[in-house]
């Protein structure tokens, strides 16, 4: 999020990241600072909120009150409309004053909504060095530019996007019954009815989750071994994906 509006202002940019890799990201960014006068530091005085509306996301902007100066940033989630808005406030701000009628949920509510929509986020869903941008649907979520660069893997990503076939994608999955908490090992293999590998489970909560699956297998009965038992699950293609989803 850019916080400066004119060239005369000192440039200030907020970067959202997984809190689990905050230190690693700071070190990575400082490697490329060289001698430039850039200050990279965590904003410990700010709070980040996901605003998932009951009504259409566009109506939130009209509901702001005169106390909306407590909202440092209120912007549509850049990934997809179904994720609502991202709100950044000063710590301790009163959310009911910024968005009248709002109800504060918990982090599990937010993750459940993400998993229902098949939205990956953070290093569990997108393990560094393992997750590929196109398989992770980043091209569907404004996460890849095909007109500018440069980044590691850009040539392969662009070539696959324009000429290749993407056989695996991250998809929302639902278990027939919630597996015991923390019972599924990281990267657990998902199998077809015949025992053939269909993909890998990434993360989840309760009966919902997200998995990297072969598109050819998503309409088949699928299962995952949990503590020696086979737990059935189903995969679905999210409604917010571009149509036709032929990549």
Q: Say what the pTM is.
A: 0.86
The pLDDT-based confidence of 169 (bands split at 50, 70, 90) is very high
Q: Domains in the chain, ordered, with CATH?
A: 19-105 (no CATH), 133-235 (2.40.30.160)
pLDDT in tens, 23-65: 999 999 999 888 888 999 999 999 999 998 775 544 555 655 4
Residue owning tokens 């995952």: 224
Does the bond joining 132 to the residue before it have cis omega, within 30 degrees of 0?
A: no
Mean pLDDT of 73-86: 91
User: What pLDDT, on a 0 to 100 scale, did the predictor assign at position 47?
Assistant: 93
Average pLDDT, integer, range 178-188: 86
pLDDT grade, residue 196 (50/70/90)? very high
Here the tokens at position 53 are 């509306």
| pLDDT of 245 over the 80 cut | no
Which residues 6+ apart lie within 8 Å of 177 measured at CB? 207, 231
> What pLDDT is attached to residue 69?
63
Q: Is the pLDDT of residue 178 over 80?
A: yes
Alpha carbon distance 234, 176 (integer Å):
8
Cα-based distances in Å from 195 to 177, 190, 221, 224: 20, 9, 11, 10
pLDDT at 56: 52
Read off the pLDDT band of 72 (50, 70, 90).
confident
The single residue listed with the structure tokens 């999020």 is 1
pLDDT (mean) for 169-175: 97
Angle at the Cα of 21 from the Cα atoms of 28 and 154, rounded to 5 degrees: 55
pLDDT > 80? residue 14? yes
pLDDT over 90 (residue 226): no
Banded pLDDT at 212 (limits 50, 70, 90): very high
In our burial notation (b when 16+ CB lie closer than 10 A, e otherwise), range 79-114 reads bbebbbbbbbbeeebebeebbeebeeeeeeebbbbb
DSSP string for residues in the chain: -B---STTSPP-B-----GGGHHHHHHHHHHTTTTS-------TTEEEEEE--SS-GGGTGGG--TTGGGEEEEEE-SS-GGG-EEEEEETT--HHHHSTT-----HHHHHHHHHHHT---HHHHS-TTT--TTTTTGGGTT---SSS---TTHHHHHHHHHH----EEEEEEEESSPPPTT-SPTTPEEEETTS-EEEEEEEEETTEEEEEEEGGGTTS-EEEEETTEEEEEEE---TTS-SS---
166-176: b (≥16 Cβ within 10 Å) or e? bebbbbbbbbe
Give the pLDDT of residue 241: 95
């Amino acid at each position: 999020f850019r916080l400066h509006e004119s060239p005369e202002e000192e440039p200030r940019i907020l970067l959202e990241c997984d809190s689990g890799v905050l230190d690693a990201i700071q070190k990575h960014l400082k490697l490329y600072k060289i001698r430039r006068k850039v200050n990279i530091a965590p904003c410990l005085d700010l709070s980040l909120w996901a605003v998932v509306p009951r009504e259409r996301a566009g109506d939130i902007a009209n509901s702001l009150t005169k106390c909306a100066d407590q909202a440092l940033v209120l912007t549509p989630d850049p990934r997809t409309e179904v994720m609502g808005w991202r709100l950044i406030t000063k710590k301790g701000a009163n959310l009911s004053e910024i968005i009248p009628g709002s109800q504060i949920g918990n982090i599990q509510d937010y993750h459940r909504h993400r998993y229902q929509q098949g939205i990956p986020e953070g290093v569990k869903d997108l393990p560094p060095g393992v997750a590929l941008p196109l398989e992770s649907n980043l091209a569907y979520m404004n996460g890849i530019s095909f007109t500018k660069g440069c980044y590691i893997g850009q040539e392969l990503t662009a070539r696959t996007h324009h000429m290749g076939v993407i056989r695996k994608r991250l998809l929302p999955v639902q278990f027939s019954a919630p597996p015991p908490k923390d019972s599924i090992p990281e990267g657990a293999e998902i199998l077809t009815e015949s025992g053939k590998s269909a993909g890998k489970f990434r993360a989840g909560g309760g009966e919902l989750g997200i998995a990297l699956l072969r598109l050819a297998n998503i309409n088949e009965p699928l299962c995952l071994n949990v503590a020696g038992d086979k737990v059935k699950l189903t995969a679905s293609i999210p409604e917010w994906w571009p149509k036709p989803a032929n990549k």
